Structure 1
Amino acid sequence: MATLFLLIIYLAFISLGLPDSLLGAAWPVMQVDYDAPFEMAGWLFMIIAAGTIVSSLVSGTILRRFGTGKVTLVSCLMTAGALLGIPFSSSLVWLALCAVPLGLGAGAVDSGLNHYVAAHYKAHHMSWLHCFWGVGATLGPIIMAQFISEQNTWKHGYLTVACIQFALVVILIFTLPLWERVAKTNKRVAQLEPVENEGYSDGNMTESTKPMQIKGVKLALISFLLYCGVEATIGLWGSSFFVDAKQISASDAAKWVSFYYAGITVGRFLTGFITFSVSNRVLIRAGQLTALFGATLLVLPLPPNFSLAGLPIVGLGLAPIYPCMLHETPVRFGRKQAQSIMGFQMAVAYTGSTLMPPLLGLLASYSTIEIFPFYIVVSAAAMLLFSERLNVFLKRAHIEQTTTSDVNQGGA
């Protein structure tokens, strides 16, 4: 029953990924239909991400009161209704209004399901959970590209995704009683398992210690902000860059954006197996270096096909970073504060998704979309820098703690 139920959770994460990549894939065509300024996509994306931040910040209280199953059901219903409303929007104002429930629903699902899987399933399921988000994010541009190329309309793409969302709502209605039953079963099993090793800083903290008082947390938060900023910026502006700067057709550009998300999807599927033998820290570093290499291909004056290949390479590099950083939280900062720090990390990650893509849109409106690859390279390099600074700090702190412990034992 637990395995079958886990598949339902994976389906819910597919539905979470589907809308995330639609706006960027459809915007080159939507912009013409609405006669909208180029940077308007950035503002719409900001509204969606702002709703996601708000719902994720209050999700803890809502989840405790209503339970993960009910919150997931209502949130999916909200996103389905918003997706249904977008193709019927007659103006940019209505698009902005539809973006509000789309963001609110996504944030609650993301926070609720991440917490549920972390609490009731093994660690490698975190990578596979985010892999299924990638499945949805990959299918979104594929569906949109199909309708743009065949019928020259983006509206049917949104309607198709809305129908998929409503189908998931029906599944969630029938499986609602399973959520609490599975949670109780997994809780009993977890009580029989040994407790994992505490993080190095647990001994230096008390229950009253605030997350932002813990050394190294700010470096981790910046890494999360930059990661989600890079991921979201490519998803939103990748199509526009190749259409406007490389003269690629809108349908072909949307397909390559889907390959970018496919790189994330495949990478996270493989990461779930690799985590059995490779540490999170090594996977994070390897992913950041791979993403930086792919972003460099976008900058170099290469033929369009080589530049396009940079997108899936960046996606493959980004794949292990987010789930591994989430899973590394208790190891970095101790289990006593892991849950609180996790909330801060997700809120800051959504902030990166909210601010960095619109910032590029604003800069491009005053210059050119050709700054897109440079923006990605600088952001990816900064993410690697802050992540490595955190690793150095943690290694030094661990050595100091070990030395202090040995001295105390010797004195005793």
Structure 2
Amino acid sequence: MYSLLLAIIYIAFISLGLPDSLIGAGWPVMHTALGVPVAAAGWVTMLIAGGTIVSSMLSDRLTHRFGAGRVTAVSVLTTAIALLGFSLAPHFWVLCLWAIPYGMGAGAVDAALNNYVALHYAARHMSWLHSFWGVGAAVSPYIMSFALSSGQGWRGGYRIVGFLQVGLSAILLLTLPLWHERVRAKRPAAPGAGEPAAASAPLRLPQIWRIPGVPWVLAAFFAYSAVEQTAGIWATSYLVQARGVSVTTAASFASFFYLGITGGRFLSGFIADWLGDRLLIRGGIGIALGGILLILLPLPTVAALIGLIITGLGCAPVFPAIIHATPANFGANRSQAVIGVQMAAAYLGTTFMPPLFGWLAGQLSMQLFPLYLVVFAVILFAATERLTRAVDRAAQQG
């Protein structure tokens, strides 16, 4: 039962990544077909992000009422229906309407799955599962490319991924009894760990905010997302405009940043249980800062290219390790509520920080790119250290 459910969760994480890069891969064709400017993609992504933030905040209430298995199955089905709606949308405004349930489904399943894995599986699985998310995100552009080259158009790309999601939701619905099994793998204990009774009712945001360490973990997720998404979106432009790298080479190394994250999460899974969440977080941030410094310093251009890959490798273990540490840091009875707001903070960073850098670069200079990354990487380090102190202090007092 343990292995079967774990396999299903791995598949679910791949499905989480599948839709995320579809719009980027298909938009050059989509905006022409829908008769809107290129910049209109921002409206779709903002609506998706808004839906994910709302559903992440509601995840504690939903999981309390329906359970992680049902929330995951219904959320995947909601996302599937929204993707099929994308494939049928005759106008841009219809696409925007479908973006809302798309985001709502994605946010709920993300929070529910992350909490379930943090509670029931070892740290290595959290790293590997997030690596599998990267597999899904990497595969979907190829699905869109296949649809475009085979004459199915961009609608065909969304249709293929939508039907894949329908199939996964069917599997999840059929295997709901497995989610009730209290399978639990051994994982390293951390300060604050324990087996408190489940919370009797969902926690409200003010209650979550007052939990020692929560403001710091939210700052950490916001800062991490600012680093990852800004690097992923603007690295190519920086290399071309500020370093004089050819567009082809710059695009390749920007993709290596994401390969560094995916590969780094796969590799960190082998040492996650041995090092523990705290060392993974500190080591990852340190490596990421080293990579950013290679981009920042006036060294030959090849150093900046290598630095981008190292930054991705450093980012790799941070996000999954912070999530996996949540039950130990805040208690298993409150982890779903905390992970929900953590996901919301991450989506806020993803949504607003890359556009802010784009505005600053337009007003000042693209040379700000590594400095911007350094600022948020330092905030990330400071926030995680303050989180550790707050959790340790609460454990000593309680």
Q: 1:199 to 1:15 in 2, by over 3 A?
A: same
- Flag the 1:214–1:258 CA change in 2: closer, same or farther, 3 A: same
Distance 1:328 1:45 in 2: 29
CA contact (8 A) 1:28 1:239 kept: no
- Evaluate the alpha carbon distance shift between residue 353 and residue 221 of structure 1 in structure 2; reply closer, same or farther with a 3 A threshold: same
Q: How does 1:263-278 map to 2 (within 5 A)?
A: 263-278=260-275
Closer, same or farther: CA 347–275 of 1 in aligned 2, 3 Å: same
Quick check: 1:140–1:161 contact (8 Å CA) kept in 2?
Answer: no
Matched, 1:225 2:243: no
CA contact (8 A) 1:77 1:166 kept: no
Shift of the 102–305 alpha-carbon distance from structure 1 to 2, 3 Å rule, reads: farther
Distance (Å, rounded) in 2 between the aligned partners of 1:294 and 1:197: 29
Provide the C-alpha distance between the structure 2 equivalents of 1:9 and 1:139, rounded to a whole number of angstroms: 18
Q: Are 1:36 and 2:37 matched, yes or no?
A: yes
- Secondary structure of the 1:277 match is helix
What's the CA shift for 1:134?
Answer: 1.8
In 2, are the aligned partners of 1:55 and 1:104 still within 8 Å (CA)? yes
Q: Distance in 1 between matches of 2:187 and 2:315?
A: 32
Amino acid at match of 1:36: P
Which residue in 2 is equivalent to 1:139? Answer: 139
What amino acid is the match of 2:8?
I
SS at match of 2:274: coil
Q: Which residue of 2 aligns with 1:409?
A: none
Q: Residue 275 of structure 2 aligns to a residue in which SS?
A: coil
SS of alignment partner, residue 110 of structure 2: helix
Whether the aligned pair in 1 keeps the contact of 2:221 and 2:345 (CA below 8 Å) is yes
- Preserved contact between residue 230 and residue 380 of structure 1 (Cα < 8 Å): yes
Q: Which residue is equivalent to 1:340? A: 337
Q: In 1, distance between residues paired with 2:237 and 2:24? A: 8
CA contact (8 A) 2:213 2:386 kept: no
Q: Look up the equivalent residue of 2:20 and give its one-letter code.
A: D
**Comparing 314-323 and 369-378, the one that deviates more:** 369-378
Counterpart residue identity of residue 281, structure 1: R
Q: How do 1:152-167 and structure 2 match up within 5 A?
A: 159-160=156-157, 162-167=159-164
239-248 or 111-120, larger mean C-alpha shift: 239-248
Once residues 377 and 32 of structure 1 are traced to their aligned partners in structure 2, the CA distance between those partners, rounded to angstroms, is: 37
How far apart in 2 are the matches of 1:365 and 1:194?
Answer: 47
In the TM superposition, residue 280 of structure 1 has moved relative to its aligned partner by: 1.4
The two structures have a TM-score, normalised by structure 1, of 0.77
Equivalent in the alignment of 2:287: 290
How many positions carry a matched residue from both structures? 390
- 2-structure distance, mates of 1:380, 1:319: 13
Q: Could you tell me how far apart the structure 2 residues matched to 1:371 and 1:224 are? A: 22
Letter of the structure 2 residue corresponding to residue 331 of structure 1: A
CA RMSD of aligned residues (A): 4.2
TM-score by length of 2: 0.79
Rg larger for: 1
Corresponding letter in the other structure for 1:318 = C
2-structure distance, mates of 1:46, 1:351: 10
* Cα gap change, 1:241 to 1:89, in 2 (>3 Å): farther
Conservation of the 8 A alpha-carbon contact between 1:263 and 1:315: yes
User: Match for 1:113: what amino acid?
Assistant: L
Secondary structure of the residue that 1:55 maps to in structure 2? Answer: helix
The C-alpha deviation readout for 1:7-49, integer Å capped at 9, x for no partner, is 22211211211232444566688789867366x5555433221
Give identity over the alignment, percent: 45
User: Which one-letter code corresponds to 2:167 in the other structure?
Assistant: V
Q: Is 1:8 aligned with 2:4?
A: no
Matching of residues 249-268 of structure 1 within 5 Å? 249=247, 255-268=252-265
Once residues 68 and 232 of structure 1 are traced to their aligned partners in structure 2, the CA distance between those partners, rounded to angstroms, is: 28
Provide the rounded CA distance (Å) in 2 between the counterparts of 1:27 and 1:363: 25
Change (3 A) 1:222 1:194: closer
1:61–1:24 distance in 2 versus 1, CA, 3 Å: same
Where does residue 48 of structure 2 map in the other structure? 48
Residues 289-338 of structure 1: CA deviation (Å, up to 9, x unaligned): 11122223333456665434333322211111111112223333444544
Contact kept in structure 1, 2:87 and 2:158, CA below 8 Å: no
Letter in 2 for 1:15: S
Change (3 A) 1:298 1:314: same
Q: Is the 8 A contact 1:18 1:161 kept in 2?
A: no
Cα separation, partners in 2 of 1:156 and 1:371, compared to 1, 3 Å: farther
Structure 1 counterpart of 2:325? 328
- Which ranges of structure 2 fall in alignment gaps of 5 or more residues? none
1:156 deviates by 5.0
The alignment status of 1:183 with 2:179, answered yes or no, reads yes
Q: Deviations over 1:327-364 (max 9, x none)?
A: 22333344454443333322222222222123223334
1:195: Cα distance to partner? 12
Aligned residue identity for 1:324: A
Matches for 1:60-75 after TM superposition, within 5 Å: 60-75=60-75
